[in-house]
Amino acid sequence: MATELEDLKILQNAENIADAIWKRVVEWENFAKDVVGKQMARAADSIGANIAESYGRFNFGEKLQFLYYSRGSLFETKYWLNRALARGLMQNDEVSAYAVRLSDISRQLNSFARNLKSQRLENNPKTKSIRESNADYITEDRLDDSTPLFTDLELNWLITFNPVSNL
């Protein structure tokens, strides 16, 4: 297992795809760069940035949360790649190649998250997850309830209430 951040294969893969997307986007005209390119480059950069932030966290829950953010950025990158294809900014084979690489990173993220979960269980076998107890919801048939929602006094107050004069 990697002991240094720079040794993480998943981070290296995320950096490589982010750099490749960057190099491609900077070639576009300004309008395409502003509308699609900047968003796609930010999303691609965010994949690796969130992996790095996860690595730097101590708490297992926080580590997992940043891996999930990374996964969200990965799907956002796929969205922008689809927009680039639909708008004629990239060719189908280029977008497909990026999509395959992103799918590989997605599988690595899932594996990384599973590994963290199993480490958490090994370190604290009594705690499988943090959950609130289920709330008891009481439902009653109130169709025949003749109790009014507002009293006459409350209704009169609502009718005469003037928020401007009460300031």
List, in order, residues 6 or more apart from 95 with CB less than 8 Å away: 81, 82, 84, 85
pLDDT digits (tens, 9 = 90+) for 85-108: 999 999 999 999 999 999 999 999
Supply the pTM of this predicted model: 0.70
Architecture per CATH, domain 5-123, reads as Up-down Bundle (1.20)
Q: State how far the Cα of 19 lies from the Cα of 13, in Å rounded to an integer.
A: 10
pLDDT digits (tens, 9 = 90+) for 121-131: 766 666 555 56
pLDDT digits (tens, 9 = 90+) for 26-36: 999 999 999 99
Q: State how far the Cα of 83 lies from the Cα of 95, in Å rounded to an integer.
A: 10
Tell me, what's the pLDDT at 56? Answer: 87
- Backbone φ/ψ region at 34: left (φ over 0), alpha (ψ -120 to 50), beta: alpha
